[in-house]
Structure 1
Amino acid sequence: MLNHPTYDKLTRLKLFGMARAFAEQSALDLDHLGFEERLGLLVEHEVSERDGKALALRLQRAKLKPNTAAEDTDYRHARGLDKALFQRLLAGLWLKEKQNVLLTGPTGVGKTWLACALAHQACRMGRSAYYVRLPRMLDELAIGRADGRYMKLLKHLAKIDVLVIDDWGLAVLDDAHRRDLLEVLDDRHGSGSTIVTSQLPIEHWHAAIGDATLADAILDRLVHNAHQLNLKGDSLRKKRANLTSSASPE
């Protein structure tokens, strides 16, 4: 490691990116670069390293499904994915306008993967994200009501830039669930973006919620400013399993 007073001072100041770049520069012949150019390279390295660490922390906190980088999106399978719309969503304007995304379709067509890919892209753009299955979120809120963490949990969900709610409509909602869901979506309305995945078509969500008045209030905060991706087709997991089986030696 470089033994140099400047390197030691940069390290003491916790400018580790600049310290590493300084060590690299010391091993190179950069006499053709002026002071401002060399300083610019040091600062750029520090900013890049800090951005990388910040992204890693956002992704860790988001708890997204693994391997959901947007560049790995599969457009080959016929599942009704609107490529143009999905790429517009990846550009991020919907995040600035606090809009939502609703992904529907049968099991196995990649709803959760696409939702996490959008959230992953949001993290790259400096936004916070969090993935949770709806039954688990409602269970956590119920426990929070019992142990005094309820308001803290609501505040946490409210301040997230992109909240991914998976498996909407799988479980029967009771009155407490409906009211908790309304609290979450009301806090987020106009202040953040929500991504929802569901096997149920959107037109069935009102009935699935189970109370007409609360359903109106919940869906009003979720659907009317949302982009909709309606997927179809056979399970991609089933197709991949079949390909793996056919490729196996007898």
Structure 2
Amino acid sequence: MNTQTLEQMKQLRFYGMLRAFNTSLAPNSIGYTNDELIAYLMQSEWDDRQNRKIERLTKAARFRYSAVMENIDYDGTRNLDRNQIRRFTTCDFIKNQENILITGSTGSGKSYIASAIGHQACSQGFKAMYFNANKLFTMLKISKADGSYLKQIDRLEKQDLLIIDDFGLKALDNLNRHSFMEIIEDRHGKRSTIIASQLPVEAWHEIIGEQTIADAILDRLVHTAHRINIKGESMRKKLRNKH
């Protein structure tokens, strides 16, 4: 009977329940009542499905770093507001369709913080994607050539959280400028975006170019944005000096 039940669980892909039921059959297992056993099996299946969902979301996001909020360095020289960062762990900014703009010099930890927030979002069931800005715009240019542009734009729009890293290393040309406008317009008031850049937000206007479009993009980005301006020495240099 137990063998048949285990096989049925396997065929139904109730993997969490399968492992839990196997455990309950062990000689030294807890003696569950019927109600307790059902609750234990259901909870095990629920936990397993949630964990697998988080794994799928995290893998699909392709974060730059395997980062966690708990490991963010709040050294006093970095100008980080611990309370502000901790509030992001609730992901209320995603529920409220708000953006986060992270600025700081090279190596200051912008990408790590963006990745950590992204991982946190995935752990709460939100869909996220991480892109290096130059690679994102290159991908979109290629998609225009091969006819998949609308599909890519639609995919970006559907992400609960879109992270664009290293923005501003290159000025946007006309194609990239219009693609960026389309991305931000599609997400405005519906989804959240994190942008990390070495340049202060005040310099983004020049990077985007074409005043009318730059005004429109920045108005949509900045209006509902939380800002993180990281200061202090390079974290990469700091870590190297420790070794």
Match of 2:106 in 1: 107
Question: Aligned partners of 1:108 and 1:11: how far apart in 2?
Answer: 47
State the 1:30 CA deviation. Answer: 3.7
SS of structure 2 residue aligned to 1:101: strand
Match status 1:44 vs 2:43: yes
Range with bigger deviation, 2-11 or 179-188: 2-11
Range with bigger deviation, 142-151 or 65-74: 65-74
Question: Aligned partners of 2:189 and 2:92: how far apart in 1?
Answer: 14
**Aligned pairs (5 A) from 1:207-226:** 207-226=206-225
State the 1:77 CA deviation. Answer: 5.4
Match of 2:143 in 1: 144
Greater than 6 Å deviation, 4+ residue runs: none
**Aligned pairs (5 A) from 1:1-250:** 4-27=3-26, 28-31=28-31, 33-76=32-75, 78-244=77-243
Question: Aligned partners of 1:56 and 1:158: how far apart in 2?
Answer: 21
CA shift digits 1:151-184 (9 cap, x unpaired): 0000000000110000111102111111010001
Where in structure 1 are there 5+ consecutive unaligned residues? 245-250
Where in structure 2 are there 5+ consecutive unaligned residues? none
Q: Which amino acid aligns with 1:189?
A: H
CA shift digits 1:43-81 (9 cap, x unpaired): 101111111111111110000023301121111352111
Question: Aligned partners of 2:72 and 2:100: how far apart in 1?
Answer: 17
The percentage of counterpart residues that share the same residue type is 40
CA shift digits 1:58-115 (9 cap, x unpaired): 1100000233011211113521111111111112111110100000011111000000
Q: Which amino acid aligns with 1:93?
A: D
Q: Which amino acid aligns with 2:75?
A: R
SS of structure 2 residue aligned to 1:78: helix
Report the TM-score when normalising by structure 1. Answer: 0.93
Question: Aligned partners of 1:89 and 1:5: how far apart in 2?
Answer: 47
SS of structure 2 residue aligned to 1:165: strand
> Residue 66 and residue 208 in structure 1: after superposition, are their counterparts in 2 closer, same or farther (change >3 A)?
closer
Report the TM-score when normalising by structure 2. Answer: 0.96
Q: Which amino acid aligns with 2:43?
A: E
Question: Aligned partners of 2:59 and 2:30: how far apart in 1?
Answer: 38
Question: Aligned partners of 1:108 and 1:29: how far apart in 2?
Answer: 51
Question: Aligned partners of 1:215 and 1:84: how far apart in 2?
Answer: 31
Question: Aligned partners of 2:2 and 2:90: how far apart in 1?
Answer: 45
Question: Aligned partners of 1:80 and 1:122: how far apart in 2?
Answer: 23
State the 1:29 CA deviation. Answer: 4.6
Question: Aligned partners of 1:203 and 1:138: how far apart in 2?
Answer: 22
Question: Aligned partners of 1:29 and 1:55: how far apart in 2?
Answer: 29
Range with bigger deviation, 5-14 or 45-54: 5-14
Question: Aligned partners of 1:3 and 1:35: how far apart in 2?
Answer: 15
Match of 1:247 in 2: none
Question: Aligned partners of 1:201 and 1:145: how far apart in 2?
Answer: 30
Question: Aligned partners of 2:89 and 2:16: how far apart in 1?
Answer: 29
